[in-house]
Structure 1
């Protein structure tokens, strides 16, 4: 089975891209069984449940006007027979961290009963950007990250088969940055942010992408400005972290750059991890 994360940077704008991508993957016999979305930028009442269900997917969403918003989308054909609707598909849902009061919609978690395997706890996360290390938004980001670590520790105790997927807004190492010298000390790559990433790893989570040999200069985000994608001037800030139990089952992890080359794309590309059922 395959799980993915994608910051779509407005689901209203990018819904055709999402549907096209999901259909393309199925045609390639590489169907995405669950995708965690970030930056929906729409409220719950505007979420396209009907369009996605018509395409064969059930959704759980936590929306917000103009900013943020996360969702978990699951392919109906991948679900166990008991999962026939939203209430039996998305088990024990959590919207935002209970230990961090926040109006911004950045966390959505649910346990999914996939067919032929034990259920998996999926966490769709949109980490704060932080703006710059000398800003109040950066302080918010670090506080958010501290709360995330505490909450995830509890989640892992209850759910050993857990995957944290999303836009982390952190490039964990220099190899994840197109020009480390130019970015040194800046937001997304600063020592406090990278330390926070390592704290998540310290909980017993694993960066699925780095579990495998990868082509150098592989990124998941490219700025719209100054031909960032054409120059491959990117950062790897979208990640899938897997618990110990899922790490043992992971057979591949990639960045799919193809949708980034489409007309009017998101500035992020989907990231994918493949999990063995056996």
Structure 2
């Protein structure tokens, strides 16, 4: 079973990229983030094309903001919008944003997640991010049987780089979100449920990024960060035959600023082809050039 996650940064704009990519990579389960469409609009613009390719759809939309989807050719059972206890914003009691959807796909509980950005450390948005992650951990921890952590894949834009090796230069991120100790502890707490970061599990020492800012030529210099993750329960992680970032999908005309992350369970149709496909052509060496981040990263 091939599982992929991709923050498409507005799915309507990305349709000319998404559909050919589905035909090329043929994932069985696709987790999308930042669809930026209502449920009805998502089905209107993509329903027929996805059905033609054999995909069932679960989408949780919020109009021009957020939005997550699950596409599956291996079943889409027990669909859940959000997760138990998900907080809202700006108050925890507010209606939860469209940031999570899950279902049983091919016997596995798969989540498509768009973790809040956090914006600025110690801001209301940052505290919301930490609370959101804490409630997600509690929800996953409470699952049993098919919903237990061991049978779970958390896929999506986590908006956290797990370690300094997951950013092009740690010094460039001082004072920014995505790399602070509380965020990383929150991610480690999720992994503490027995979930494994399957890309880093398979490629512990490689330079692997999934996000590159649009500006300042950061993609072409490979000045990125790894914030799109797949965390899998140990029984599922043990089935991983290949795990990689499809950098090709970040190239060319009108791409998302994120690249898809692809994990093959049991069988690797393309072989165990490496952590990044294709590899960057001319990456800047770590610390060799002083780069000021062009914006708050998302």
By the TM > 0.5 criterion, same fold?
yes
Matched, 1:146 2:150: no
1:32 is paired with a residue of what secondary structure?
coil
1:217 is paired with a residue of what secondary structure?
coil
The 5-angstrom pairing of residues 30-45 of structure 1 reads 31-45=26-40
TM-score by length of 2: 0.82
Which of 111, 114, 119 lines up with 2:104 in the alignment? 111
Q: CA RMSD in A?
A: 1.4
Matched, 1:69 2:62: no
Per the TM alignment, residue 134 of structure 1 is displaced from its structure 2 partner at its CA by 2.9
Per the TM alignment, residue 4 of structure 1 is displaced from its structure 2 partner at its CA by 0.6
Query: Which residue number in structure 2 is paired with residue 97 of structure 1?
Result: 83
TM-score by length of 1: 0.88
1:235 is paired with a residue of what secondary structure?
coil
1:147 is paired with a residue of what secondary structure?
helix
Unaligned residue ranges in structure 2 (runs of 5+): 89-95, 268-298
Runs of 4+ in 1 over 4 A off after TM superposition: none
Per the TM alignment, residue 217 of structure 1 is displaced from its structure 2 partner at its CA by 2.5
- Larger helix proportion, structure 1 or 2? 1
Q: Distance in 1 between matches of 2:130 and 2:103?
A: 24
Per the TM alignment, residue 181 of structure 1 is displaced from its structure 2 partner at its CA by 1.1
Matched, 1:165 2:155: yes
Unaligned residue ranges in structure 1 (runs of 5+): 26-30, 80-88
Per the TM alignment, residue 184 of structure 1 is displaced from its structure 2 partner at its CA by 2.5
2:243 is paired with a residue of what secondary structure?
strand
CA contact (8 A) 2:35 2:67 kept: yes
Alpha carbons of structure 1 residues 156 and 69: separation in structure 2 relative to 1, 3 Å: farther
CA contact (8 A) 2:210 2:224 kept: yes
Q: Distance in 1 between matches of 2:87 and 2:206?
A: 39
Alignment length, in residue pairs?
A: 255
Q: Distance in 1 between matches of 2:205 and 2:197?
A: 16
CA contact (8 A) 2:87 2:131 kept: no
Post-superposition Cα deviations, 1:112-170, rounded to whole Å, max 9, x if no partner, equal 2x3xxxx1111110000000103110011011111011011123653332111000000
